[in-house]
Chain A
């Protein structure tokens, strides 16, 4: 199985079989990562640039490791400065990189559509590592991978996404991804954090957290960005934690088999209680581990690799 696309800009429009190809490929790479020497020559001679216009540790390092494990050459550019402050436009920055003959551009940017913008203007495979409030496809893929690892399939799984759905690219990518594989999705947010028309994206909306998590197989907790305070979305962090935080008590009401996930970085004590984050149901660190394998799979497949060959490594 091959992936017949050049870029991975989002999970909108990505089919179930494409997702399964990526997850199956990641399965093979996961096995490689458990070897003594977790490295294969698959992408030797290829060059990847990790271009991060927003601060990130987890995602950037995860991509860097994925590239190194596949023997690609990689360069990371992290800048808090927007391109305008440097006096250079985004497209010029990237055209310069293209001129240096790179194969992959992994881009994170605070503006939705930034990855689309670049993909339409340069002849390099673009992987969206998060664009504004739009999508973060590799995060959703690693979430799917982690869920499948625990449950084997997605049929009939009840997944509850809790928190700031309005500003969350993780939520959007998961809505597309979970929807494509047939999971049963509920979004639980304060109404101020529900994006308009979100009821049309195949998820149930439930604003009462205790009701929403009843019978859940997966609770996916979204990060509250601290800058949302003072923007009238909720009165205080204290009230948010009371109404929408996954407290110890709420965690205890969940099924034993229920997974608690968080894309990180966490605000312990706000959207998730510290002992819940570290508790038995938490797979938050498994998500991080799986992220490397999933990103290896995406890089490999976008470079034209085939699933069967990945299994032969």
Chain B
């Protein structure tokens, strides 16, 4: 199959590409990139005038819930949600039940994902056995199975010595440790950001310091050990500042934040909406603004969603009792475009870097880019097309988005991975918006 994408804005900032032109995909590879491509023979032409074609997005922080909580998400539905959001690859977290702490469990995820089509699922293994924070999991065997990183995400590794050894040991495999920084003794019982709003709502707060102490400790341990540290879901201004200072000192440190932290603040919890409850929590407008700057300047090089599906019945409850976490995959790009790019907080090329080459670099994957001869892994989107977020149409099994009912710009028009093309269809044509070409 040959695809000829016509007159798109070709945008691959990491390779210095930003121009209008045609792109030819042949045998799963980018065959030609040019102004106007004329070819003979059979070819599927895609009229993409006014649209943008970029390397496919990568989300290095998602929860696919399988095994263990298949009512909230399965690998299949998570992969569909990823495709719908324009993602060609995701890194799934190991806090499943049981945890992804063995070679076999890593293989299970990879092989299950391969049944559902071309979107790559790269699992992260657990740092400690059962994510209990007591003993190291078999890191070498996890990596041999295909783990691209290790993390106890959802919980910090509370034992500083164990975290130090994990960082040291990880150097043999050249993988990053993804840290969920949190001092649990400070955040205990908290359900939202601690501040004026938590006081008004009478909800127990989680102080910013609970996260910042965790970040500060792990940065010191990274320096002590020489291991590669990636700081997950940075949600506070000072957290980003700590990462900036560590980079200034030359440490091999990277950081991410999520769309909800740069789009929303704790003020939006006034209605006790459990679909806005996550950990770390939505912070103040000061934090949100600082995180926007950190993304713009590259202090944080990654936008990652922390896609965290939960069953409707789990979220349909008292705020205190609802689990932490919100969906992200299907709204990530549109939220970033609508809340950051369109108002001028972030340029579109910078956003694309934060969603492509930035995350690829963290997990040591080659940035495929828009380069002739490379495997095709491309996302086509329309920045002028808007739609109202309707959770009932999500590919994800869950519905817990904070953006329901909001009009967002930035529609994903298609995903090209290798020889496969995944594109949206009208609801009457199919149950799913982004039918995946099965590979089994």
Contacts and interface: CB of A to CB of B under 8 A. Distances in A.
Interface of A: 12, 84, 89-91, 109-114, 116-117, 120, 131-135, 169, 172, 195-198, 200-201
Contacts of A110: 320
B196 interface: yes
Contact of B321 (A12, A84, A120, A201): A84
A197 B196 contact: yes
B318 A90 contact: yes
B199 A111 contact: no
Contacts of A111: 318-321
Nearest to B202: A134
Contacts of A201: 199-200
Contacts of B321: 84, 111
Interface string B300-314: 000000000000010
B203 A196 contact: no
B317 A133 contact: no
Contacts of A89: 313, 316-317
Given A133-B202, A134-B202, A196-B196, A112 B317 contact: no
B271 A195 contact: no
Interface in B196-225: 196, 198-205
Contacts of B319: 111-113, 117
B196 A200 contact: yes
Contacts of B202: 112-113, 131-135, 169, 172
Contacts of A196: 194-196, 198-199, 205
A23 B195 CA distance: 32
Nearest to B271: A116
A91 B201 contact: no
A37 B196 CA distance: 48
Contacts of A195: 198-199
A161 to B, nearest CB: 14
Contacts of A198: 199
A300 B85 CA distance: 52
Nearest to A110: B320
Given A89-B313, A117-B318, A12 B196 contact: no
List 7 A-B pairs, minimum CB-CB distance, nearest first.
A134-B202, A197-B196, A113-B272, A111-B318, A112-B202, A195-B199, A133-B202
Contacts of A91: 316-317
A91 to B, nearest CB: 6
Nearest to A195: B199
A121 B136 CA distance: 46
Contacts of B313: 89
A110 B320 CA distance: 9
A244 B202 CA distance: 23
Contact of B317 (A90, A172, A200): A90
Interface residues of B, number: 20
A112 B201 contact: yes
* Chain B residues touching A, majority SS: loop
Interface in B171-209: 194-196, 198-205
Contacts of A117: 272, 317-319
A109 B313 CA distance: 19
Given A110-B320, A120-B271, A197-B195, 11 more contacts: A89-B316, A90-B318, A112-B201, A112-B320, A113-B202, A133-B202, A133-B204, A134-B202, A172-B199, A172-B200, A200-B196
Most buried by A among B198, B201, B203, B318: B318
A276 B310 CA distance: 52
A198 B197 CA distance: 10
A110 B194 CA distance: 19
A261 B196 CA distance: 27
A116 B272 contact: yes
29 contacts: A12-B200, A90-B318, A91-B316, A91-B317, A110-B320, A111-B319, A111-B320, A112-B201, A112-B320, A113-B201, A113-B202, A113-B203, A113-B272, A113-B319, A116-B272, A117-B272, A117-B317, A132-B202, A133-B202, A134-B202, A172-B202, A196-B195, A196-B198, A196-B205, A197-B195, A197-B199, A198-B199, A200-B196, A201-B199
Contact of A134 (B194, B195, B201): B201
A107 to B, nearest CB: 11
A131 B319 CA distance: 11
A207 B194 CA distance: 21
Most buried by B among A113, A133, A172, A197: A113
B195 A132 contact: no
Nearest to B205: A196
Contacts of B318: 90, 109, 111, 113-114, 117
Contacts of B204: 133
A90 B319 CA distance: 11
A87 to B, nearest CB: 12
B255 to A, nearest CB: 26
A133 B203 contact: yes
A114 B319 CA distance: 8
A212 B202 CA distance: 24
A112 B203 contact: yes
A119 to B, nearest CB: 10
Contacts of A131: 202
Nearest to B313: A89
Nearest to A89: B317
A135 B200 CA distance: 9
B185 to A, nearest CB: 10
A56 B88 CA distance: 56
Interface in B267-302: 271-272
Contacts of A109: 318
B217 to A, nearest CB: 21
A120 B203 CA distance: 18
A52 to B, nearest CB: 15
Contacts of A116: 271-272
B199 A132 contact: no
Contacts of B205: 196
Contacts of A84: 321
A132 B318 CA distance: 11
A130 B200 CA distance: 14
Contacts of A135: 202
